[in-house]
Structure 1
Amino acid sequence: MAKKINIAFFGSSLVSAYWNGAATYYRGIIRALHERGHQITFYEPDAYERQKHRDIPDPDWAKVVVYSAEGNQGVNRALEDASSADLIVKASGIGVFDEYLETAVLDIKKPDALVTFWDVDAPATLDRVQNNSADSFRPLIPNYDLILTYGGGEPVVNAYKALGARECIPIYNALDATTHYPVSPDSRFAGDLGFLGNRIPDRETRVEEFLFRAATQLPDYKFILGGNGWESKPMPINVNYLGHIYTRDHNAFNCTPKAVLNISRESMARYGFSPATRVFEAAGAGACIITDFWKGIERFLEPGREIIVAENGDGVAESLRQLTPEKARKIGDAARQRVLAEHTYTHRAEQLEAILSSDFDSRKLQRFC
């Protein structure tokens, strides 16, 4: 698209991945849009101690505006500043002011601007609005020019359209090859299988099955667990819990164990077509990935050649028994080649530009074409 646009983006945090699984996704897509000439301002609240746990400084590829999580004065200033943008994005799961912003971004846009709801957790959003007819977001869905999601495929698209969405399009997670790539192993992360993910109710039972059950079956193998919230969780003795792993250490975490594990949240697995950011981070580092099964895996990586798929903890254990270092290296190399060819954030930015240039609502989009 010839026209370069000014984007106002309201999200959880761009500068901190602390209790913020969407950080890698935000950084990848926003950096790629900047490289294509677009201007992005990212508005984030000072909440959940994220500013105390920054893992990147303010980037040169986006302007970051941090507003207070106390009272409405700060968020209202941010909204006033964002009102001149060509594209206003309200992401899901900011954690504060979500209901307020869902309405406010619709109120502030110019007549010739677009307003988008970008859902980084569509299964949770859809479950909420479908189970509660009085949910405040539900009647707002048809008012957005576009719903974007970072996963979900046809099940999510159909569900949003049934709720009145004008258009719903997935823009999947991807690889930022400038930040996730092969590095030398690090002894802190040595082991047979590593998993990196925060402890949340929607994932905990599946971690017990796919990680802890496998560890119990393989007492002579070493398992590595990183992420927030697991310190009080009973786990097998051969699981080494490391706590929060900063983004700067993700490459080493992915490159050191013989394999890394992807465990989807229950809702993500149920909807399918929802590769987590950790899948592309690990693939970019050339890691051999073992994943739980979810519909649509083959759209991103080929099972058996570029990724190993396990139905349960028994399957994870059996996969590890059969996995030689040579086989792990071959699978990791194939995964890296695939994501570099098809699944980078440059690919996703090109997709977004094509969406904005499409004719699904030519009255609003013609100025961007």
Structure 2
Amino acid sequence: MKLVVLGLSITSSWGNGHATTYRGLLREFAARGHEVLFLERDVPWYADNRDLAELPGIDVQLYANLSELKHEYTPTIREADAVIVGSYVQEGIAIGNWVLRNAHGVTAFYDIDTPVTLAHLRRDGCDYLSAELIARYDLYLSFTGGPTLGELQRLWGSPAARPLYCAVDPQAYFPDKHAPLWDLGYLGTYSADRQPALDRLMLRPAERLGENTFIVAGAQYPNDIVWPENVERVEHVPPDRHRRFYNQQRFTLNLTRADMIAAGWSPSVRLFEAAACGTPIISDCWPGIDQFFTPGCEVLLATTGNDVVRILHGMSEPDARAIGEAARQRVLAAHTAAHRAAELESHLQEAGADSAPLPERDSDRRFNSTTRPPRLSLNAALSSSRQPA
């Protein structure tokens, strides 16, 4: 299958979780014998923070603007077996219309932010998706499952809404022998609707537990937040250091955005990453979490700061390790990038895409590179971004 993906970013994980998802999913999809082209808009905030060395099997190309995208890649869109447009892509509505006018294969929207997207559509509109586009895409691939899938089909007119949850790469996330540096840690970009939960489940317990150590890692936190003295702050942890970060925590905290709590069935990639490392997870509560992990056996749920204090001071180390290991086994059985790649292939096949792997020598079915001149490739972009100022 020849697949084109237009996504937010695969080259930089700075301030977004999309890159991690795309890297694992598309690498495993390519490993199943398919050809993948990822098109990413070249913007300064990602160009200055690229952290992808290479991505075997994936052709990554950068474009400067919508005009260049249309001029250079219209033939590519036409010859693809499937085209996916992701959430939060700049000018996503215009890109979606362009794809739908030109694609001859299956078209899909991949929403890594489904509850947020639908909340925007209900209120004041969405920058990257319209209600009209939902009904025109052949597939709506959603990070959120449960009742939201029925709503997408019944109320928004999607011909087929299917779950495609986030996942983890077990080659990158696994238990490591590191002495814990922190009793509780949290990894996540700042969001105003998640901050009250961070205050309640991390900062207030930290104030009460002066002898314990805490850490919050993530970008874009306002300067006026008052951090307790025993809470360490890190602006950014690149993906290649996530495993070490999780393994240096006794427990890790999982927090969910308000729209995703309301929708339910919205696991975060951080949840699966921490579980794959065998780090015991303390999570906020939301509908559907028991579909992914069994509360009390594979994940610990907390609604108040007292819950967190009781876990940190009342749970034995053997019990904590047992919960972490149970979560790890659950992830390995159902939530790896390889599982998601197989699900993506199945969804595209259901929608009518040619899902046969491309034979190594079947050059006439591969993207014809002569139809477009080479643009700014991943290697060129990484090289240029590393040049001294």
* TM-score after normalising by structure 2: 0.86
Aligned residue pairs total: 354
Instruction: Give the RMSD, CA atoms, in angstroms.
Output: 2.0
- Is the Cα–Cα contact under 8 Å of residues 123 and 156 in structure 1 kept in the other structure? no
Q: Would the alpha carbon gap of residues 51 and 133 (structure 1) be closer, same or farther in structure 2, given more than 3 Å must change?
A: closer
1:201 is aligned to 2:186 = no
Contact 1:161–1:168 under 8 Å retained in 2: no
SS of match in other structure, 2:176? coil
**Structure with bigger RCO (C-alpha 8 Å, 6+ apart):** 2
How far apart, CA to CA, are the structure 1 residues paired with 2:185 and 2:126? 42
1:92–1:120 contact (8 Å) kept in structure 2 = yes
Contact 2:189/2:220 (<8 A) preserved: yes
Matched residue type, 2:144: G
- Displacement of 1:134 after TM fit? 9.4
Show CA shifts across 1:94-152 (max 9, x none). Answer: 2x222221211111202xx0110111100111011122479861112111101001124
| Displacement of 1:77 | 2.2
Matched letter for residue 193 of structure 2: D
- The aligned counterpart of 2:37 is 41
Q: Is the 8 A contact 1:151 1:273 kept in 2?
A: yes
Gap regions ≥5 residues in structure 1: none
Following superposition, the deviation at residue 74 of structure 1 comes to: 4.3
Does the CA contact (< 8 Å) of 1:214 and 1:313 recur in 2? yes
Which residue type is aligned with residue 258 of structure 1? R
Q: Does 1:180 align with 2:176?
A: no
SS in 2 for 1:192: strand
Distance 1:170 1:366, change over 3 A: closer
**Could you list the per-position Cα deviations for residues 20-66 of structure 1 after superposition, in whole angstroms to 9, with x for gaps in the alignment?**
21111111211111111111111111125212212222311211011
- Sort the Cα spacing of 1:75 and 1:227 in 2 relative to 1 into closer, same or farther, 3 A: farther
**Equivalents in 2 of 1:348, 1:134: separation in Å?**
27
Quick one: distance in 1 between partners of 2:124 and 2:91?
20
Q: Look up the SS of the partner of 2:185 in the other structure.
A: strand
Instruction: Report the 3-state secondary structure (helix = DSSP H, G, I; strand = E; otherwise coil) of the residue aligned with 1:258.
Output: strand
Residue identity in the other structure for 1:62: I
Match status 1:122 vs 2:118 = no
2:192 aligned with 1:192? no
2:159 is the counterpart of 1:166 = yes
1:139 equivalent in alignment to 2:120? no
Sort the Cα spacing of 1:216 and 1:134 in 2 relative to 1 into closer, same or farther, 3 A: closer
Alpha carbons of 1:304 and 1:140: their partners in 2 closer, same or farther (altered >3 Å)? same
The TM-score with structure 1 as length reference comes to 0.90
Partner Cα separation in structure 1 for residue 152 and residue 201 of structure 2: 29
Give 1:185 shift.
2.0
Give the 5 Å matches for 1:216-365.
216-230=207-221, 232=223, 233-358=225-350, 365=352
Maintained 8 Å contact 2:117/2:126 = no
Indicate yes or no: 2:148 matched with 1:155. Answer: yes
Q: For the structure 1 residues 254 and 366, does the alpha-carbon distance in structure 2 shift closer, same or farther, using more than 3 Å as the test?
A: closer
Structure 2: gaps spanning 5 or more residues: 357-389
Identity %: 32
Residue 196 of structure 1, CA deviation: 0.2
Cα distance change, pair 312–106 in 1 and its aligned pair in 2 (3 A): farther
Contact 1:152 1:268 in 2 (8 A): no
Instruction: State the shift of 1:366 in Å.
Output: 6.7
Alpha-carbon separation, structure 2, partners of 1:138 and 1:22: 23
- 2-side partners of 1:265 and 1:167: how far apart? 25
Partner of 1:212: 203
Equivalence for 1:92: 87
Q: Quick one: distance in 2 between partners of 1:142 and 1:247?
A: 35
